[in-house]
Structures are given as structure tokens and as C-alpha cells.
């Protein structure tokens, strides 16, 4: 959540900043009003508490002086004020919870460097990459045999079976078979080998507490998009960002530990409640998928270089895979609620003739760390400071899988995979139709 002191100290700036995201001014005013009310209730409670303490001393003095009647009157007044203090305290707690819930719903302040804009159409394309561009080659035009959607390629080769996946779990739950399943495993192994040189590998739980989901900003705002195990009050993670953000929840790190980098391979679960009816073919939008996550705690000064490193690593994997991609700088109106700055990577899918998002690389400032209470003690001394959090997919596999089988499709219907996967596929890079 944002720092309430920013609302107190510069309300107009906060309203202008959040206005870039489409937040109504009255929503920010509501936060300011609740904050003023909360502080007034606390002040009233402290006045009453001081009066009760003063009366308690007077009661003792009256009793010592043998003034029983006066002591009784003072004691009755102390009880009356005590009841009033508790009532005011309860009201202060109620307002504090209302303020907290309102802050939890409020998105992060966008970075000043994030482009202005209201939605995806206003995102800024920074650059493109394609095989051969380093030697001056033009971006290649897909051949006709590559313009077959991956769900058709996968069915013909027996490596993707959406129908049986739906029979097992419902629509949008994919089932990979044979070489298709091995391709997912190979992609994970490739990414793990690329990232564990500098990122500590973690295997976190895939079911987490409500508090853990709240720390990243996925709750309460996006509860409808998550799978909730109500009996145990646990949530299936939509991304490994969720458990990694809370890895050091409630702790104070030493600055020398930062940046603290982690990577995790997990299944991810998303109900996609807000996307009903869109992109339901093949792997364009699924409820369960494998993803390699990159995450870091950092100081504010370290954050830009860490952000750049995560982006470079995600791009590096796409270049290894020889997949054409583009980098988008998301405008303020298209940022995720918790993000201050995000770069998206999109691969080109020739069979679908679309750009498909495969990674979002985000910097959250201290928005998530404030929720998770992750701080660090500066080397030079002083009070602990909130850490900054950053993360990115390195990468998410369904759309990468789709782009690979479409891009690698050969005139004879087989699929030729990139050389970097050879060590993970026993050297056999060609997927052919099953015999018979």
C-alpha cells in the first residue's frame, strides 16, 4: 500500500499521480478523511486516558485524606470517563480498519517515467528483436507452413490435448503429452540453468495464507481471479511472486544482504474471471501453467539495476529460443495495481498472427514491502527502511510453447526446436507425427 504520510503531506500530488491510473480524486479524498478522523479519535482517547489517570490519583489522595465521599464521586467520574475512553478507542479501531481496507484497495503511485495513457493501446513499444537482426537481417515474414495455430499443430503431432484436459478439469486446463510435456520440462530446465548463477532457487508452497496473498496486492482487489480453498482458507498461487514476496515477511534484513535475489519454478493458477469468453483457444489463456519467476528485495538505489537485470534475463531466454519479441513500456493506466513501472515482453505467434505476452517485469517500490513489513537496516545506521520489491517472469511457458511450435513448424508438418534445448531433449530437436 502507499505511505499514508504521502497523503498527509502532499494530497494534491497523490491525487494527480493516481489520476494517471484513472483513480477518482474522491477515492483519495476518502483516504485523507479517514486518516484525519482516525488521528482525531486517537487524540480524543489519549485525552480521556490522561483524565482517567489523573482522577485515579485524586481518588487515592482523597482516600488517604479520609474524604470517603469525595473519593467515591471521583471514582464514579473515573468509571464514566473510562467507559467513554473505551468507546472512543473502539471507534478509533473501527476507523483504523476502514482506513486500512481503503488503502489496500488503492493502487500504487506510477513511476514518473511510466508513459501517460489509459490502456493497452497507449503502451509504448521500446524495441524489437528477431533472429539475425544483429547482422542486419530484416524481420522475417512467416512462411505459410508457420501460419497454423498451435492447437492444430499440437493435436496433429499428439503433443497437446485440450479436449482431454477439459475432460479432467474443465475448459482452459491444458494437457501436454509425449514430446509436448517434455518440451515444458526442457524449457524449465533451460531457464533454471540460466538464472541460478545469481538467483537463489526456492521451491515455495503453491497454497498460501490470505495474509500472503494480501502482501502482494492480489487481495482483496483480485479475489475473484484466484482459486480459494475455503475449507482451509488457503489460496492457490497465481504466481510465485506471492510466496517470494512474503519470504522474509516481518523481518529486518541487513543492507549488506541486498539485493536478495530468488527464483522459483511453480505451477500457477488463475480463474481468469475477468476474461470470460476471450482467448479461449489452445494456450492463449489457461487456468493452470508452469512459470519460472525472478524476484528480488532491494534498496531504492539498487532497484533500477535489478529491474534491468530481470528484464535482460527474460530477454536472454527469448533470444536463446530464437523467438521474435518486442518490449513494451506499460502506460500508467495499464499498470498492474501494485506496480510502479512495468515492461512487458511479447513474442510473435505466426499461427495466431498476434503478439503474446510472456513476461511482465515490474518494480513495486515499497508498496508490497509495506504490506509484508519487510525492512532492512541501513549500513550507516538509523531506523530500518522498507525494502523495494521487483519481479518478472523468466518465463511463463504456455504462450512460449505455442510460439515455439508455430515458429518451428516445417513444411512437412514436423516442428524443429531451437538448438539451446538440445541438452534437455536428448539432442532430438524435431517433433514428428506419431507413427500410425
**Which residues participate in catalysis according to the annotation?**
270, 285, 357, 360, 399
Taking the mean position of all CA atoms in its chain, how far away is CA 134?
33
What is the spatial distance between Cα 48 and Cα 32, in angstroms, rounded to a whole number? 25
Query: Coil, strand, or helix at residue 423?
Result: helix
393 membership: H or E segment, kind and range: strand 388-396
Catalogue the E-assigned strands of 196-337: 200-202, 207-209, 227-229, 234-236, 252-254, 260-269, 288-298, 325-329
The reply to whether omega before 251 is within 30° of 0 (cis) is no
Q: State how beta strands 234-236 and 388-396 pair.
A: unpaired
What is the spatial distance between Cα 106 and Cα 36, in angstroms, rounded to a whole number? 17
Q: What is the DSSP letter of 221?
A: T
167 membership: H or E segment, kind and range: helix 162-169
CB 323 within 8 A of CB 420: no
What is the spatial distance between Cα 191 and Cα 232, in angstroms, rounded to a whole number? 33
What is the spatial distance between Cα 58 and Cα 54, in angstroms, rounded to a whole number? 6
Residue the block writes with cell 504490506: 371
What is the spatial distance between Cα 290 and Cα 165, in angstroms, rounded to a whole number? 15
CB 180 within 8 A of CB 415: no
Residues ≥6 apart with Cβ < 8 Å to 322: 131, 407, 418
Amino acid at each position: 500500500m502507499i505511505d499514508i504520510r504521502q497523503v498527509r503531506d502532499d494530497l494534491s500530488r497523490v491525487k494527480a499521480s493516481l489520476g494517471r491510473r484513472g483513480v477518482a480524486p474522491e477515492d483519495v479524498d476518502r483516504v485523507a478523511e479517514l486518516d484525519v478522523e482516525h488521528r482525531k479519535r486517537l487524540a480524543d482517547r489519549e485525552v480521556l486516558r490522561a483524565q482517567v489517570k489523573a482522577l485515579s490519583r485524586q481518588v487515592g489522595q482523597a482516600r488517604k485524606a479520609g474524604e470517603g465521599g469525595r473519593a467515591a464521586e471521583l471514582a464514579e467520574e473515573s468509571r464514566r470517563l473510562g467507559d467513554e475512553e473505551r468507546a472512543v478507542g473502539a471507534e478509533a479501531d473501527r476507523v483504523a480498519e476502514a482506513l486500512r481496507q481503503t488503502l489496500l484497495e488503492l493502487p500504487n503511485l506510477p513511476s514518473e517515467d511510466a508513459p501517460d495513457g489509459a490502456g493497452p493501446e497507449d503502451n509504448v513499444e521500446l524495441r524489437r528483436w528477431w533472429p539475425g537482426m544483429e547482422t542486419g537481417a530484416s524481420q522475417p515474414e512467416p512462411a505459410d507452413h508457420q501460419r497454423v495455430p498451435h492447437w492444430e499443430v499440437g493435436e496433429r503431432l499428439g503433443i497437446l490435448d485440450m479436449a482431454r484436459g477439459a475432460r479432467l478439469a474443465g475448459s482452459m486446463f491444458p494437457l501436454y503429452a509425449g514430446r509436448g510435456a517434455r518440451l515444458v520440462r526442457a524449457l524449465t530446465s533451460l531457464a533454471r540453468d540460466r538464472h541460478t548463477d545469481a538467483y537463489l532457487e526456492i521451491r515455495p508452497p503453491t497454497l498460501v495464507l490470505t495474509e500472503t496473498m494480501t502482501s502482494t496486492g492480489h487481495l482483496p482487489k483480485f479475489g475473484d481471479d484466484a482459486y480459494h480453498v475455503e475449507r482451509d482458507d488457503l489460496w492457490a498461487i497465481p504466481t510465485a511472486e506471492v510466496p517470494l514476496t512474503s519470504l522474509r515477511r516481518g523481518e529486518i534484513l541487513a543492507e549488506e544482504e541486498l539485493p536478495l535475489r530468488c527464483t522459483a519454478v511453480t505451477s500457477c493458477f488463475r480463474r481468469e474471471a475477468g476474461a470470460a469468453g476471450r482467448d479461449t483457444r489452445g494456450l492463449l489463456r489457461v487456468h493452470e501453467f508452469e512459470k519460472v519467476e525472478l524476484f528480488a528485495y532491494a534498496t531504492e538505489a539498487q532497484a533500477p539495476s535489478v529491474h534491468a537485470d530481470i528484464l535482460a534475463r527474460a530477454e536472454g531466454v527469448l533470444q536463446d529460443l530464437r523467438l521474435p519479441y518486442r518490449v513494451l513500456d506499460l502506460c500508467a493506466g495499464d499498470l498492474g495495481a501494485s506496480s510502479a513501472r512495468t515492461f512487458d515482453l511479447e513474442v510473435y505467434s505466426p499461427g495466431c498472427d498476434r503478439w503474446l505476452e510472456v513476461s511482465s517485469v515490474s518494480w513495486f517500490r515499497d508498496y508490497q514491502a509495506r504490506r509484508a513489513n519487510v525492512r532492512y537496516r541501513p549500513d550507516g545506521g538509523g531506523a530500518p527502511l522498507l525494502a523495494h520489491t521487483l519481479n518478472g517472469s523468466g518465463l511463463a511457458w504456455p504462450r512460449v510453447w505455442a510460439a515455439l511450435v508455430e515458429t518451428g513448424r516445417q513444411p512437412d508438418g514436423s516442428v524443429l526446436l531451437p538448438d539451446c534445448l538440445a541438452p534437455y531433449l536428448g539432442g532430438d530437436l524435431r517433433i514428428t507425427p506419431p507413427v500410425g
